[in-house]
């Protein structure tokens, strides 16, 4: 942990720094140029990562997969993702965003398309692992890329757009996946779920090719900026970089106990998100819906409402600059909704309402959580500390989906899985409440 004597005394721009109207126009211009394209790419990435949640409705029968075997395929994606996340970001720093994003999108899209040839469990496992390898570092790469264009005080707005991408991908998948699986099933002797992987993977290949020509590595290489605009952007970023402390960031991160506290909370939160992403179609099927198209359409409802909810709740949290109770209400509310979903003989409407409530609250807890660590981590270890929190949290993908699959395989029901996730969310609330107790953050800044 850094101490006051170990860092420079600097003054960074704050939220109260006067902002020139000309700068507003400049950053709006930058936002409209790069954010929509990157957002589309991110939505496609989430869709290709999570569409096995729909594919399993047919694939488990065609490949003779148990729930545990299906979950292992979900886990293998995260194994590849976590193992190659750091190397991917190193390549981004070395070769630039244009080449790196093109490589990532083209290769993950190609792997998704190759799922059309899956005919055995081994093929399924190998391609899921490779999908994780090739997609590794994409979202962290986006976060890193935005630092080339936006100073810290202007970065929250662009980043908040991506938090809704998971829910938007869920809506898109719900609208088209079921139709593809039923409408294309048997065409040219190919299963519907194989067609779904190929059709939904193809846009990534196209976007990868577009990215090579559309994206620019830095403002200095952007032909769509005037000379004066380039200078203003570079001056703002250089001013911020000159105020950043240097030092042994990794060592500082490893010695900071709050890294492990927030990593645990994020592990619990991502476990809940994974439950929704990989098992929502199965939940809706257990509610009594059997038609694949109806299942996919119903799954769009929690995601659509969740996309709106995450923005409204996050804005409310920002308006009052309050994090602890917003997180606790979201996470604990989601835990209660999941627990009530285990009740038997409930109506379809009530079950869908509980699923929607849990989705809205889990999604909304995500940006609220990420607004907290930055206030705790100071000095040379800040960047490495946040990266460690992210890596440990995402590692839940190597554990939680497989555990849920085992639970369903051996109990024949999702009820115990709901209880498991509800307990994790409740524990995360207790940890956040203790960590964000009055004066906690201030004492850390003085440590």
Claim to verify: residue 163 and residue 251 sit in the same structural domain: no
Position 7 in a domain: no
Q: Which of 238, 265, 291 is the last residue of a domain?
A: 238
Q: The domain that contains 425 carries what CATH number?
A: 1.20.1250.20
Share of the chain above pLDDT 70, in %: 85
Position 282 in a domain: yes
**Residues 346-357, mean pLDDT to the nearest whole number:** 92
CA dihedral 398, 401, 403, 409 (to 10 degrees): -140
pLDDT digits (tens, 9 = 90+) for 289-327: 888 888 888 988 998 888 888 888 887 887 787 889 999
| Cα–chain center distance at 351 | 25
Position 15 in a domain: no
Inform me whether the pLDDT recorded for 3 exceeds 50.
no
d(CA 257, CA 5): 20
Residue pair 403/72 in contact (Cβ under 8 Å)? The answer is no
Position 13 in a domain: no
Claim to verify: residue 225 and residue 254 sit in the same structural domain: no
d(CA 28, CA 299): 34
Claim to verify: residue 152 and residue 282 sit in the same structural domain: no
Claim to verify: residue 286 and residue 380 sit in the same structural domain: yes
Position 155 in a domain: yes
Claim to verify: residue 157 and residue 251 sit in the same structural domain: no
| Size of the chain in residues | 447
Quickly tell me which residue has 């920002």 as its tokens: 318
Q: Report helix angle 257-286 to 415-435, nearest 10.
A: 150
Inform me whether the pLDDT recorded for 1 exceeds 70.
no
Claim to verify: residue 153 and residue 200 sit in the same structural domain: yes
Q: Tell me the residue range of the domain where 395 lies.
A: 245-447
d(CA 286, CA 178): 16
Claim to verify: residue 92 and residue 211 sit in the same structural domain: yes
Position 152 in a domain: yes
End-to-end C-alpha distance for the chain, whole angstroms: 8
pLDDT digits (tens, 9 = 90+) for 83-95: 887 677 677 777 8
Quickly tell me which residue has 């080449």 as its tokens: 99
Residue 51, φ and ψ in degrees, nearest 5: -70, -5
pLDDT digits (tens, 9 = 90+) for 46-105: 888 888 888 888 888 888 888 888 888 888 888 888 888 767 767 777 788 888 899 999
| Cα–chain center distance at 313 | 17
DSSP output for 319-345: HHT--HHHHHHHHHHHHHHHHHTT-TT
Claim to verify: residue 63 and residue 190 sit in the same structural domain: yes
Residue pair 148/221 in contact (Cβ under 8 Å)? The answer is no
Claim to verify: residue 388 and residue 283 sit in the same structural domain: yes
pLDDT digits (tens, 9 = 90+) for 132-160: 899 887 877 787 788 788 876 676 667 66
Query: Taking the model in full, what pTM does it have?
Result: 0.74
Claim to verify: residue 280 and residue 400 sit in the same structural domain: yes
Whether the CA torsion 182, 184, 190, 192 is positive or negative: it is negative
Tally of domains in the chain = 2
Say whether 425 sits in a helix, a strand or coil: helix
Closest CA to 128 of 48, 14, 230: 48
**Residues 386-403, mean pLDDT to the nearest whole number:** 81
């Amino acid at each position: 942990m850094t101490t006051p004597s170990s860092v420079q005394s600097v003054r960074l721009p704050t939220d109260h720094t006067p902002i020139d109207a000309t700068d507003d126009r400049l950053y709006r211009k930058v936002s409209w140029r790069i954010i929509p394209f990157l957002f589309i790419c991110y939505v496609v990435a989430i869709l290709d990562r999570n569409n096995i949640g729909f594919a399993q409705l047919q694939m488990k029968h065609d490949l003779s997969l148990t729930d545990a075997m299906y979950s292992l395929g979900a886990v293998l994606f995260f194994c590849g993702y976590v193992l190659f996340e750091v190397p991917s970001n190193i390549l981004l720093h070395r070769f630039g965003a244009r080449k790196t994003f093109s490589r990532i999108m083209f290769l993950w899209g190609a792997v998704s398309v190759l799922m059309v040839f899956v005919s055995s469990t081994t093929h399924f496992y190998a391609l899921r692992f490779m999908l994780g390898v090739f997609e590794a570092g994409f979202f962290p790469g986006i976060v890193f890329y935005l630092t080339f264009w936006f100073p810290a005080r202007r970065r929250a707005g662009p980043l908040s757009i991506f938090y809704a991408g998971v829910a938007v991908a869920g809506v898109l998948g719900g609208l088209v996946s079921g139709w593809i699986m039923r409408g294309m099933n048997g065409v040219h002797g190919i299963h519907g779920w194989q067609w779904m992987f190929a059709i939904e993977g193809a846009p990534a290949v196209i976007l990868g090719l577009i990215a090579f020509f559309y994206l620019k590595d830095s403002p200095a290489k952007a032909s769509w900026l005037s000379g004066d605009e380039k200078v203003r952007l570079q001056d703002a970023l250089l001013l911020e970089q000159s105020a950043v402390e240097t030092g042994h960031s990794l060592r500082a991160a490893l010695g900071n106990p709050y890294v492990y506290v927030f990593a645990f909370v994020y592990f619990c939160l991502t476990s809940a998100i994974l439950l929704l992403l990989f098992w929502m179609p199965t939940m809706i099927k257990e509610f009594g819906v059997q038609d694949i198209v109806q299942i996919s359409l119903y799954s769009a409802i929690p995601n659509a409402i969740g996309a709106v909810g995450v923005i409204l709740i996050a804005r409310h949290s920002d308006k009052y600059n309050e994090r602890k109770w917003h997180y606790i209400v979201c996470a604990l509310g989601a835990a209660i909704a999941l627990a009530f979903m285990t009740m038997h003989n409930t109506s379809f409407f009530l079950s869908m309402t509980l699923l929607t409530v849990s989705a809205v609250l889990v999604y909304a807890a995500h940006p609220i959580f990420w607004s907290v660590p930055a206030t705790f981590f100071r000095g040379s270890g800040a960047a490495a500390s946040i990266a460690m929190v992210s890596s440990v949290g995402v590692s839940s993908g190597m554990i939680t989906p497989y555990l849920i699959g085992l639970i369903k395989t051996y109990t024949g029901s999702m009820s115990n899985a709901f209880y498991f996730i509800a307990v994790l969310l409740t524990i995360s609330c207790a940890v956040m409440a203790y960590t964000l107790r009055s004066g906690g953050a201030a004492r850390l800044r003085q440590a």
